[in-house]
Structure 1
């Protein structure tokens, strides 16, 4: 046997993805390069690691055992690297953060300088909807979660990061005489929703219910980017977080339509379970945020002020 650590990493990632194409994307490699390395890895075993059924790739039972062994080996190598850094007096470890989908426009700015300071800390971010974010925290799968609405059933600690404002947004082609306009506009224009479980959708529905707003037509899309493109194309309007439409506002592809009762204002919060035993890396990150968050907001989000 003469396989490399790189081959083990590729095979483990491929077994998790069940896809060479996705593995290549995540590992920043070409698909042929991944295929060659996986073939070289397979050549060292007399039993197949994978099989193709109906043009779909599957990992065999033997392959799954090899993947489990590969994961253990990689974890041990990472542990050795972390111990080396510890002896050198450097911070090390992993931070796992689950981020509500709109939070992808926020969280990287609160992470960048920390990771420049602490090169021994690795980062894993999962960007998904609010329901899945809460579920991952409930299962203790992450250190932190970024949310705009606190989960009701979990006991969490929190640190407030910045305001999250949601406005009624339409394409550049729309013209309105009065400002602000009545919420009756919801009867005139199709309204584009995010999917069930999205915090943005929840806030939209609260606003509509509270103000007894009749909706003319409802369209549902499954990501902020999809909603954004649909609004630009003139498919309808939506209530959207300001943080996600900076470029489209500046390019005048979208416009904020002043509506009575809007914007909706919430707060982005980094939360963690009260029972969570935080790693040294996680503790250091909270200390970093307490010292630097105001400067991060000033440096990166001052563009929001004219709209607020």
Structure 2
């Protein structure tokens, strides 16, 4: 046997996600790179690790045992790295986060200085929709989660990081003036995020609260997809400001004024109440308590212009 640690990590991720595509996304690799490593890894065994039925990939019984062993090996490698860092007097360990999809425009700025100051800390950050984020949090699979809408039925603690503003946007070509909010929404075809998305929840609540009738045009599974559809002129959407900075400054998108907008919520880092934080988790909360305001001033000064 001559398999590598990289192959073990890739196979473990494929077994967890049951998808080459999702594994590639989470590992920040291309799909062909993951497929090649999976093929090379499988070549070292006479027994199939996976089987493909239609477009779905399934882990065999033997593959499940290999995945379990791979997880144990990788955990031991991390432990060695942490111990080496500890002997050098460095903070060491893993920080695990689950972040709602639009949070990818927020969270890196609140992580950068902490990770630079603590090179012995490894980061695992899963970017997904709100439903999956809360599932990870409830299962104690992560240290923290970033959300823009607080869960109502979970006993949590939180640290507020940044206001989340949602605005009605369209492409820059059509000028819209002099209409009431209800007239606007009755004429503009709307593009929605999928069910389970925090942005979808906030948008739907706004429409229901104001008894607004609307034309539903599309439902898409990422803010990036919604943004591109709006730029292309397919429809309009209520979108988080944080994810459309460049498009607004480049005039690919325009903000459309309407009563009740922008909607303001809060980006909050949350964790289960009573959670015993690891040294890394506790240190990260201390870091945010000291530097949060500085991070906001340094990176989000443009935010108040809208």
CA RMSD, aligned part only? 2.5
Residues 176 and 11 of structure 1, relative CA distance in 2, 3 Å threshold: closer
CA offsets 1:3-30 (integer angstroms, 9 cap, x no match): 4434433433344455667656665667
| Paired residues of 1:181 and 1:258 also in contact (CA < 8 A) | no
2:191 is matched with: 192
Which secondary structure state, in structure 1, belongs to the residue aligned with residue 182 of structure 2?
Answer: coil
2:175 is matched with: 175
2:282 is matched with: 283
2:301 is matched with: 302
- Tell me whether 1:224 sits opposite 2:205 in the alignment: no
TM, length-normalised to structure 2 = 0.89
Residues 126 and 182 of structure 1, relative CA distance in 2, 3 Å threshold: same
Which secondary structure state, in structure 2, belongs to the residue aligned with residue 135 of structure 1?
Answer: helix
Residues 212 and 129 of structure 1, relative CA distance in 2, 3 Å threshold: same
Which secondary structure state, in structure 2, belongs to the residue aligned with residue 169 of structure 1?
Answer: strand
| Paired residues of 2:98 and 2:126 also in contact (CA < 8 A) | yes
2:73 is matched with: 73
1:64 is matched with: 64
What is the CA distance between 1:40 and its match in structure 2? 5.6
Q: Distance in 1 between matches of 2:214 and 2:131?
A: 25
TM, length-normalised to structure 1 = 0.89
Gaps spanning 5+ residues in structure 1: where?
none
What is the CA distance between 1:219 and its match in structure 2? 2.7
CA offsets 1:176-219 (integer angstroms, 9 cap, x no match): 233x8533200111111111122212222222122221213443
2:115 is matched with: 115
Q: Distance in 2 between matches of 1:196 and 1:135?
A: 15
Higher-Rg member (1/2): 1
What is the CA distance between 1:48 and its match in structure 2? 4.0
Q: Distance in 1 between matches of 2:56 and 2:8?
A: 21
1:259 is matched with: 258
| Paired residues of 1:183 and 1:260 also in contact (CA < 8 A) | no
- Tell me whether 1:249 sits opposite 2:257 in the alignment: no
Gaps spanning 5+ residues in structure 2: where?
none
- Tell me whether 1:97 sits opposite 2:106 in the alignment: no
Q: Distance in 2 between matches of 1:289 and 1:245?
A: 25
1:272 is matched with: 271
| Paired residues of 1:51 and 1:57 also in contact (CA < 8 A) | yes
| Paired residues of 2:26 and 2:126 also in contact (CA < 8 A) | no
2:204 is matched with: 205
Which secondary structure state, in structure 2, belongs to the residue aligned with residue 184 of structure 1?
Answer: helix
Count of aligned positions: 306
| Paired residues of 1:168 and 1:239 also in contact (CA < 8 A) | yes
What pairs with 1:39-50 in structure 2 (closer than 5 Å)? 41-42=41-42, 44-50=44-50
